[in-house]
Amino acid sequence: MTKRSQPSPPDLSQYPRPNLAVDLVLLTVRDDALQVMMMERPAEPFAGRLVLPGGFVHPEEALQETARRVLRCKTGLDDIMVEQLFSFSAPGRDPRGWVVSVAYFALVPAAVLLGAMDPGQKLRLVTIEADAERSNDAGLERHVRLLHDGDPVEPGFDHLAIISAAVARLRAKLDWSLVAFGLLREEFTLFDLQRVHEVVLGRPLLKSPFRKKMLERAFPGGRRLVPTGRFDRSGRHRPAELYRLEPGLVPHSFESTLP
């Protein structure tokens, strides 16, 4: 980066600069569906359309901090895993001019998100319908539909592509990372965990192999699922034991390990 062919003084002002923004794909699992937080856009372009929350990067601010700032501004939440997704730069993607946007995604349990969304901000939870599992991102035909209260949603800008990328990333990381736990509260039943997997992958899973695998495997950092001895008695049937993930320090995001 940041070099030119002929020796010259450290002066960068000669180069044209784009506006740089961050868009946040905040995902949750609610009502057995994958949902994304969007907001009604207050101004042109795309006034009134649903878009992802976002903001411009401040000088000397790391992109991850921008993402966290946007998250905090809309929901008040902090200490949520955010992860860089992709940078979008197609000419014309913003009618106002040259804007490059770095997409981040974040995961929040629905119960937490519902209590945190700022009511003054016209925020909406939009259901994502995605075709059944396609493990790879390359060659991914993006068949993602958005529904709000049953009505199809046409988001502004290129935000449908951004959401597609987030779903692809989420699926790709589901079975080797801790992303599933970002969508669950501290304690959960094994069936809660299974429903999260099913909703993200878009297909049903068999109970017995799923349980066995989850109880036997080690997650990143050597962490395992441990029973708490407490039970969920909310159903009218045999109570389900609550589990939690063994404590451990595991970086939430790729970026967090960088200088």
Cα separation, 47 vs 167, whole angstroms = 25
Binding-site partner at residue 17 among DNA, its own copies, none, CB < 5 to 8 Å by type: its own copies
Interaction partner, residue 165 (DNA, its own copies, none; CB < 5-8 Å by kind): its own copies
Residue 174 Cα distances to 93, 197, 229, 245, angstroms: 30, 7, 26, 15
Identity of the residue, 93 or 244, whose beta carbon is nearer to its own copies in the bound complex: 93
136 belongs to the binding site for DNA (CB under 7 A): no
Angle between helices 159-173 and 190-201 (to 10 degrees): 130
Shortest gap between Cβ of 184 and DNA (angstroms)?
14
Interaction partner, residue 237 (DNA, its own copies, none; CB < 5-8 Å by kind): DNA
Q: Do 128 and 166 form a contact (C-beta atoms < 8 A)?
A: no
Task: Return the residues of window 145-204 that contact DNA according to CB under 7 A.
Answer: 189-191
Q: Which stretch binds DNA (CB under 7 A): 38-46, 135-143, 158-166, 238-246?
A: 238-246
* 183 touches its own copies by CB under 8 A: no
Binding-site string for its own copies from residue 129 to residue 168, where x marks contact by CB under 8 A and - marks none = ------xxxxxx-x--------------xxx-x---x---
CB of 238 to DNA, least distance (A): 3
239 binds, among DNA, its own copies, none (CB under 5 to 8 A by kind): DNA
Would you say 228 and 243 are in contact if contact means Cβ atoms under 8 Å apart?
yes
Beta strands 144-148 and 123-130, pairing class:
antiparallel
CB-nearer residue toward its own copies: 150 or 247:
247
Q: Restricting to residues 66-105, which ones interact with its own copies according to CB under 8 A? A: 84, 86-103
What does the chain come to in residues?
259
User: Cβ neighbours of residue 257 under 8 Å, at least 6 residues apart?
Assistant: 251
- In whole angstroms, the minimum distance from the beta carbon of 29 to DNA comes to 16
User: Residues 36, 51, 146, 242: which binds its own copies (CB under 8 A)?
Assistant: 51
CA angle 26, 95, 161 (to 5 degrees): 35
- Residue ranges in 195-234 that form contacts with DNA under rule CB under 7 A: 205-209, 211-213, 215, 231, 233
In angstroms, rounded to a whole number, what is the distance separating the alpha carbons of residues 245 and 250?
Answer: 12
Among its own copies, DNA, none, the one that 161 touches (CB under a kind-dependent 5 to 8 A) is: its own copies
* Residues within the interface to DNA (CB under 7 A): 189-191, 205-209, 211-213, 215, 231, 233, 235-241
